[in-house]
Amino acid sequence: MAHLHLHLLSDSTGETLEMIAKAALAQFASVEVERHFWPMVRSQQHLDRIMGTITRYPGLVLYTLVNDTIRDNLEAACAEAGLPTVSALDAVTDPLARLLNQDKMHRPGRQHVLDDAYFDRVEAIQFTIAHDDGLLWEEWEDAEIVLAGVSRSSKTPTSIYLANRGYRVANMPIVVESPPPPALFNLRHPLIVGLTTSPDRLIQVRRNRLLSLNQSPQTDYVDKERVEREVRYARRLFADNGWAVIDVTRRSIEETAAAVINLYNERQARLVNDPDAVGGIKPI
């Protein structure tokens, strides 16, 4: 197995840099990566301290630095040490600068500025947390997206991920013995999406959950026949109401959220031309 020291330098929180590194590393198998994370690098003194570690553990240096002096000094020091450097955003910002005929603003962390979008995202997170697991169903009309699914079908983590993208989300557990509140069937504003999964995968997830809580896995919660009945009931409910359906069996939370966003955008585009077009979305 290959071993890599990956140095991530950012003049802000480093969130963007970490996502880029994660996406790139996903393309390679059998690699043991040791990350060295350096956020808020905004002075030469800070860079000098970091270079000691970088040269001690040589590897790839990935950075997002807008200060030209610090960038130049980092590249010069790495070149002297024979280490490769990559500016993670230049491949996008340089063509943009040429197309827009504008100079880059050289302002660190500008994507995290406290603008209206930031406060909208905070409001979305607060709404989503307050409307988790069927809570405050009488306010679901204020949601943009409502997720429904049986227990452990990734409703809550998908909701939180979507909230971090700025969507107000509520989620509702589907339980055979306890039908959803009637309000769910009369919603007009939110997109309702049913999350389904294979019974075998659901049993595995539930059993792992019980074990993590030091509880016995020998319960109806993981009984194969019961779980299959739950999944059939949920799928029939989704189909009878014409709700969009996403199978999360082999999807990560990010992939599920991306599919939900695509459905939401498609629906919004249809509503521009036809305000009554709220259904008609095929399962994914």
State pLDDT tens for residues 20-46. 888 888 888 888 999 899 888 989 999
Residue written as token pair 């539930």 = 206
Q: What is the pLDDT of residues 142-193, one digit of tens each?
A: 999 999 999 999 999 999 999 988 999 999 999 999 989 999 999 999 999 9
- What's the pLDDT band for 15 if we cut at 50, 70, 90? confident
Residue written as token pair 């991306």 = 258
DSSP state of 96: H
152 is in an annotated binding site: yes
153 is in an annotated binding site: yes
What percent of the chain has a predicted confidence (pLDDT) above 90?
Answer: 61
And the tokens for 114?
């406290």
| β-pair partners for 32 | 3
154 is in an annotated binding site: yes
> For 81-148, where are the alpha helices, taking DSSP H only?
90-100, 116-130
At 167 the pLDDT is 94
- pLDDT over 50 at 79, yes or no: yes
> For 59-216, where are the alpha helices, taking DSSP H only?
68-80, 90-100, 116-130, 155-164, 199-212
And the tokens for 272?
């521009």
At 108 the pLDDT is 57
The C-alpha torsion from 93 through 86 and 110 to 266, rounded to 10°, is: 60
CB contact set of 148 (below 8 Å; sequence gap of 6+): 155, 171, 172, 173, 174, 180, 184, 192, 193, 194, 195, 234, 237, 238, 243
At 144 the pLDDT is 97
Give the three-class secondary structure for 46. helix
CA separation for the pair 146, 158 (Å, rounded): 11
Distances (CA, A) of 273 to 188, 222, 276, 277: 16, 46, 9, 9
CB atoms near residue 279 (< 10 Å): 12
CA separation for the pair 8, 200 (Å, rounded): 40
- pLDDT over 90 at 270, yes or no: no
pTM above 0.75, yes or no: no
Q: What is the pLDDT of residues 42-75, one digit of tens each?
A: 899 999 999 999 999 999 999 999 888 999 999 9
- pLDDT over 50 at 82, yes or no: yes
Select from 122, 128, 107 the least CA-distant residue to 65: 107
151 is in an annotated binding site: yes
- What's the pLDDT band for 106 if we cut at 50, 70, 90? low
Domains along the chain?
2-112 (3.40.50.1370), 116-273 (3.40.50)
Q: What is the pLDDT of residues 199-247, one digit of tens each?
A: 999 999 999 989 888 888 888 899 999 999 999 999 999 999 999 999 9
Select from 96, 111, 83, 92 the least CA-distant residue to 13: 111
150 is in an annotated binding site: yes
156 is in an annotated binding site: yes
At 110 the pLDDT is 54
- What's the pLDDT band for 280 if we cut at 50, 70, 90? very low
Give the three-class secondary structure for 145. strand
For the sheet with 2-10, list strands across it.
31-38, 2-10, 60-64, 85-87
